[in-house]
Amino acid sequence: MVAEHEAKELLREAGVPVPRGVVVRDMDFAPVAELREPLVLKAYGPEIVHKSEAGAVVLGLSRVDVPIEAARMLASGVAAEGFLVEEQAPGGVELIVGLVHDPGFGPVLLAGLGGVWTETLRDTALGLCPISEGDARRMLGSLRGSPVLYGLRGRPGVDVDAVVKLLMTVGGSGGLWERLELGEFEINPVIATESGVVAVDARYLPAAHASNGGQDGVIDEPADLGPHSEPTDLGPHSEPTDFGPLFEPRAVAVVGASTTRPNFGNMFLEFYKAAGIPLVAVHPEAREVGGVPAVPSLAVADVDYALVAVPAERCAQVVREASGVPYVQVMSGGFGEAGQPELERELVAAARAAGTRLLGPNCMGVYCPRGRQTFVGGGLGPAGTVALISQSGGLAGEVIKVGERRGLAFSRVVTVGNAADVTPAELLRWLSADSETRAVGLYLEDPRDGRALYEALAAAPVPVVLLVGGRSAQGQRAAASHTGGLVSDGRIWQALADQTGATLVTSQDDLIGVLAFFQAHGARIPRTTGPDGGVVVSGGRAGSLGAALAGEGIPRGTTADFRSMGALVIGPSGGASVLAADAFDRAGVSLGPLPDSVLGELRGLGLGAGSSLANPLEVPVGPRSGPDLVQRAVEAIVRHRSYPDVVAHVNVQSFFTYGTRAEPLFEYARALAAAQDALPETRVTLVTRNGECAPPGVEDEVRAIVAAAGIPVYRTMEAAAVAVAAGGRNGTA
Ligand code: ADP
Ligand code: MG
């Protein structure tokens, strides 16, 4: 560990205020005369880690006290190599600012409430370096204890700009993180007052020493990411690849299908035959396999894509012969994920030697209706604008099938398996620039590629929805500093999403639901006009609202308006409306109040008799009410105040309990579709609660009616709220 005064010297050079102090090695305390009282005495030495706990720090001393206290420390057994005597900074709010090098994501900045309460409060925020100034402000604002920074009950706040500057100096572009060899670096505490900041303690563990936490009684083991994450020695592929032919190959080869015992290869052969893509089988002897012409080797197959389904030990040999094939997918498992990293390295080496890009191993492949690429049975769905990158083939298959059932149409789906060569980050870069793709879903289980992923997400001009599996298991590492102990991969994923404007969801259902929202509303530009008629938010790229909330791009006041406007919720009265308000509140979507100017008009429509007019707006929705009431109410309100989102909900059960026909429900759906058609700058969303009470086919019909107008449908308020919140984060998708 680097001594405190040396770590502080690094801070001083970087422009961070530190207390004036002197280092004493030989018990000659004469230089202390230069310092202003009160003074702080700190012992340092290789065995002293947490000074307070070791009795190695004393505050509030006069000059004459210092030698006496130093002698007392030595007598009490403090293993001091020397002493740091420094001026005591005035009290203020104690913060922690730290850096760690995460094995998956690289340098990560931590900021939070510090001092002795760090561990107890655990009130900290993370950001991947480099952070922007907007990130710094958002991180501070996200602390539960942020009111102590901004001022509380008449008490003045601290100089927040100085704190932001400190965060930028440590974790911003060109900051300390670029010059340090992390390890871990930590300022705990930095004292923030009305007039600035002072770093009164600093700790620096360079990379080589960071794992030597033994003196602290804590052993810092590298995160056990399993053999799955065993890096290949070959390093990443360097030149950017055009993945077009991966998704739309001229022709495909399947290696491994059998003439005698049908296996996975035969199954994929059948899928490809059904998809109608030009196809060849690779077989050592046969002239045809399952009715498909066969050639003896990939070397003589004129295809853009080869699927390899032979035992792991034979895969490298097959790939070596693939020099004319730009993409090879290895379906077989039995590599890194099965404790055979050397087989995986051999496979990557074979791909490099052949000049082909390798998908997998241990992966299902590619699905692209436009390119007749598939790995699922049951035929190709419609071609669309939603892309998916998945580390799990099984999950990708489910998202395709369930998503299509719910109206998603895919541009391209790719599974990456062990991602030994082609990585999610590389694919995300390509897909986010792909003209067919308007939104990307990502399913990942592994932060290994975190750094490149951060860069790809930050650069993505399309909305990205991120589902991370195994977050709860990606725990905290043991570490020698507070910072190390407070950073866990689970929290870094959230920071990654916050910084890049991606939406982090927690279930497969929400992954599909949020993608459906972007598919339906991606081209809509919500134009929010305030009561004065001024345009509040319009245009901009994905993530612009997230950036704006963080203080960039769009002026702050306007985003506050956007937020307060939020969504208009409209549906039947009673508990459902009350619970709707709660669901949107939990998702962070505000339900801005109805404008006074529209209340008379709503009363004219017969609304509000006996109940108040508010948001959620309660309208009679059911088998016996006028179906176009919802349309007239929504159009009237949006003329007065343009909510970016309108969420209409119906209780499907009521139509079949108090009525017998589906027609009134269809009429309601048609009226809502008409409202959407009339309001191109508003995103209308439908929630069909209790859909299981409808006769078969009715829900599908409702979905089809509103889908024609570009309205997404959810079966629960919670699912709709998550999607609307994601749409709000992305402003204009
Ligand atoms: P530790 O190794 O225990 O973290 P610190 O150097 O952080 O030791 O000192 C412990 C506490 O003493 C700090 O949390 C802070 O409250 C206070 N302190 C230390 N140095 C100073 C200083 N120069 N001015 C004011 N307070 C200080
Ligand atoms: Mg400290």
Atom of ligand 1 nearest to the CA of 188: 7
51 in ligand 1 pocket by Cβ < 6 Å? yes
pLDDT on residue 550: 38
Average pLDDT of span 618-639:
90
Atom of ligand 1 nearest to the CA of 115: 14
pLDDT on residue 215: 38
20 in ligand 1 pocket by Cβ < 6 Å? no
pLDDT on residue 604: 92
Average pLDDT of span 274-279:
96
> 561: pLDDT confidence band, cut at 50, 70 and 90?
very low
Contact call for residues 720 and 727 (beta carbons, < 8 A): no
> 598: pLDDT confidence band, cut at 50, 70 and 90?
very high
52 in ligand 1 pocket by Cβ < 6 Å? yes
Atom of ligand 1 nearest to the CA of 19: 23
Average pLDDT of span 528-543:
39
Q: Which two tokens stand for residue 596?
A: 């006074």
Q: What is the pLDDT of residues 172-183, one digit of tens each?
A: 999 999 999 999
pLDDT on residue 565: 76
Average pLDDT of span 601-626:
87
Average pLDDT of span 280-305:
97
Higher pLDDT, 74 or 732: 74
Average pLDDT of span 593-604:
94
pLDDT on residue 235: 62
Choosing from 59, 86, 190, 197 the residue with most ligand 1 atoms within 8 A of its CB, the one to mutate for a pocket test is: 59
19 in ligand 1 pocket by Cβ < 6 Å? yes
pLDDT on residue 146: 94
Tally of CB atoms within 10 A around 124:
25
Q: What's the gap in Å between 387 CA and the centre of ligand 2?
A: 47
Cα separation of 60 and 591, whole Å? Answer: 52
40 in ligand 1 pocket by Cβ < 6 Å? yes
Q: What's the gap in Å between 189 CA and the centre of ligand 2?
A: 5
186 in ligand 1 pocket by Cβ < 6 Å? no
pLDDT on residue 477: 55
CA-nearest residue for atom 6, ligand 1, is: 201
pLDDT on residue 209: 58
Determine phi and psi for 566, rounding to 5 degrees.
Answer: 50, -130
Q: What's the gap in Å between 181 CA and the centre of ligand 2?
A: 21
Q: What is the pLDDT of residues 629-644, one digit of tens each?
A: 999 999 999 999 989 9
pLDDT on residue 624: 79
Cα separation of 302 and 482, whole Å? Answer: 58
pLDDT on residue 236: 64
Query: Within 13 Å, how many C-alpha atoms sit on residue 693's CB side?
Result: 16
CA-nearest residue for atom 10, ligand 1, is: 52
CA-nearest residue for atom 5, ligand 1, is: 201
> 526: pLDDT confidence band, cut at 50, 70 and 90?
low
Relative to beta strand 617-618, strand 288-289 is unpaired
8 in ligand 1 pocket by Cβ < 6 Å? no
- Taking Cα atoms as reference points, which of 536, 538, 515 lies closest to residue 525? 538
Residue 557 has pLDDT above 90, yes or no: no
- Taking Cα atoms as reference points, which of 257, 270, 606, 244 lies closest to residue 431? 244
CA-nearest residue for atom 8, ligand 1, is: 51
Average pLDDT of span 42-53:
93
pLDDT on residue 535: 42
Distance of CA 565 to the CA centre of its chain: 25
86 in ligand 1 pocket by Cβ < 6 Å? yes
Atom of ligand 1 nearest to the CA of 4: 6
Average pLDDT of span 591-608:
92
Helix, strand or coil for residue 695? coil
Residue 193 has pLDDT above 90, yes or no: yes
Q: What's the gap in Å between 129 CA and the centre of ligand 2?
A: 23
58 in ligand 1 pocket by Cβ < 6 Å? no
Nearest ligand to the C-alpha atom of residue 52: 1
Q: What's the gap in Å between 189 CA and the centre of ligand 1?
A: 7
Q: What is the mean pLDDT of the chain?
A: 89
Higher pLDDT, 121 or 235: 121
> 152: pLDDT confidence band, cut at 50, 70 and 90?
confident
Distance of CA 172 to the CA centre of its chain: 20
pLDDT on residue 552: 35
pLDDT on residue 352: 97
**Is the C-alpha dihedral spanning 666, 668, 673, 677 positive or negative?**
positive
Q: What's the gap in Å between 96 CA and the centre of ligand 2?
A: 9
DSSP single-letter state for residue 369 = G
> 228: pLDDT confidence band, cut at 50, 70 and 90?
very low
Higher pLDDT, 473 or 637: 637
Q: List, as one string, the DSSP characters of 226-295.
A: -GGG---TT----S----HHHHS-S-EEEE---SSS--HHHHHHHHHHHHT--EEEE-SS-SEETTEEEE
Average pLDDT of span 273-280:
97
Of the chain, the percentage scoring pLDDT greater than 70 comes to 88
pLDDT on residue 481: 65
pLDDT on residue 120: 84
201 in ligand 1 pocket by Cβ < 6 Å? yes
pLDDT on residue 525: 64
Helix, strand or coil for residue 495? helix
Choosing from 58, 116, 201 the residue with most ligand 1 atoms within 8 A of its CB, the one to mutate for a pocket test is: 201
pLDDT on residue 564: 57
- As residues whose CB is below 5 A from the ion ligand 2, the structure lists 188, 201
Residue 545 has pLDDT above 70, yes or no: no
> 219: pLDDT confidence band, cut at 50, 70 and 90?
very low
pLDDT on residue 237: 67
Average pLDDT of span 442-459:
90
Residue 226 CB partners (closer than 8 Å, separation 6+): 337
pLDDT on residue 530: 43
Residue 731 has pLDDT above 60, yes or no: no
Q: What is the pLDDT of residues 645-701, one digit of tens each?
A: 999 999 999 999 988 899 999 999 999 999 999 999 999 999 999 999 999 999 999
Atom of ligand 1 nearest to the CA of 201: 6
Q: What's the gap in Å between 142 CA and the centre of ligand 1?
A: 25
Identify the burial level of 123 via C-beta atoms within 10 angstroms of its C-beta, where 0-12 means exposed, 13-18 middle and 19 or more buried: middle
Determine phi and psi for 281, rounding to 5 degrees.
Answer: -100, 150
Q: What is the pLDDT of residues 302-324, one digit of tens each?
A: 999 999 999 999 999 999 999 99
**pTM, whole model, 2 decimals?**
0.88
Average pLDDT of span 714-726:
97
Residue 730 has pLDDT above 90, yes or no: no
Q: What is the pLDDT of residues 424-440, one digit of tens each?
A: 999 999 999 999 999 99
Q: What's the gap in Å between 41 CA and the centre of ligand 1?
A: 10
Cα separation of 113 and 321, whole Å? Answer: 59
